[in-house]
Amino acid sequence: MPTPIKMPALSPTMEEGTLARWLVKEGDHVSAGDVMAEIETDKATMEFEAVDEGTIAKIEVAEGSEGVKVGTVIALLAGEGEDAASPPASAQDQAKGTAITGTPEPTEAGEEPEPARSPAPATGTGGGPSEAKLSRNDTGSARAGVGKGGDRIIASPLAKRIAEQRGIDLASVTGTGPNGRIVKADVESAPPRAPAQAGTSSLEAQPHEAPASKGAPVAATSGAPVDFGIPHADEKLSNVRKVIARRLTESKQTVPHYYLAIDVRLDALLKLRGELNAALEAQGVKLSVNDLLIKALAKALIQVPDCNVSFGGDVLRRFARADISVAVAAPSGLITPIIVDAGAKSVSAIAAEMKDLAGKAREGKLQPHEYQGGTASLSNLGMYGIKQFEAVINPPQGMILAVGAGEKRPYVVADALAIATVMTATGSFDHRAIDGATGAELMQAFKALLEAPLGLVA
């Protein structure tokens, strides 16, 4: 019997993913270690390798499918001596541990299949538990699961959603699909349900069918923004963008942010960077200002360990090293590869590692251990000419440092007005874990390290 290949958990937090692309087709022979597919997780697109040798008997999940749950059978692998051309019809059901209770009904294009139902128990007389139950998710009508004479109404999931949005009672719709199944076309041609009249039972006039929903645009009920007639194009969100939206919304809603800004004179740092690059040129290493900022933040966190923490409900987690998550703009969205133990690494090692991680991030090839974790984050928008900004904390971390562009400004040097290269850095802190004075100590330590930069290479 063919072996089921299931959707893998490619990270500890992965619950579902997108099967971005199949690199094999039915009938192909694969060996252990062969790349079979590319799977998009909430952070990156990763390759999925075969662990056994065999022939791809059947592909159960088409490429491009989104929201595929971990553990779902995505393909069947036939071993030696097994018929790869015609696998047993029950192979996937046995792999999922489910029994076939009937012939599945066909679905419309673009719809999810109707979930399998167990045979209905014998019904009795009267209004006992054996009667068909009402389902809030089937339609906007309270009689969505019950038809005339107690018969169940058979409708496709898409038809049910359209009926709910348009206020159509499926009990009044005649299905034209197989076995009288109500399909999309039947619902679209049906008139909306009339307003509830006096004497209508409370079951037929549900609270969610209040007049506020009548005449409301479909976009409003589905959560999509109203376009007001403006020409537009809707782009489907990637898994990465969905996770960014969810996590940052949670951060702003649940983490009490406070912000501390400080101006840093960069002239000494820029001079040191030039000298170091001249010395490292033969090794093919070129330091960026960002590499030095990573090192400075890590050393500042070591100097002020009360900021190298994470709030955990009833515990405060203190970290023994400084792992810096660095924000990188990738085509799929923001991602934060990590420089592990940045405080203990040389600036040349940080530069080489950051170059490699940034390239992987932009190609969507980061491995989970390269972007999961971190004790604090650094976000630099100086290359865009941004003078100052405030970043959103990346939970469960306790702080993030936002740095702007270094620019020539009037500056007091030795009690005299001069021109200096100055950068504004703004720290965002979780007030549950880090007090204001403690955050100020970190910002002061960061400034001191940059203005006397020999400490970064000591």
Task: Give the residue numbers marked as catalytic.
Answer: 431
Strand pairing partners for 73? Answer: 6
Peptide bond into 115 cis (omega under 30): no
| Residue 22: partners with Cβ closer than 8 Å, 6 or more residues away | 36, 37, 59, 63
Mutual angle of helices 289-303 and 347-363, in 10-degree steps = 110
Give me 5's structure tokens: 């290949």
341-365 burial code (b ≥16 CB/10 A, e <16): ebbebebbebbbbbeebbebbeebe
Instruction: State phi, psi for 266 to the nearest 5 degrees.
Output: -105, 0
Long-range contacts, 106-109 (Cβ 8 Å, 24+): 106/177, 106/178, 107/156, 107/157, 108/156, 108/158, 108/159, 108/183, 108/184
Query: What is the DSSP pairing of strand 3-6 with strand 73-78?
Result: antiparallel
DSSP state of 126: S
| DSSP state at residue 182 | B
CB atoms within 10 A of CB 397: 25
Contact of 40 with 112, CB cutoff 8 Å = no
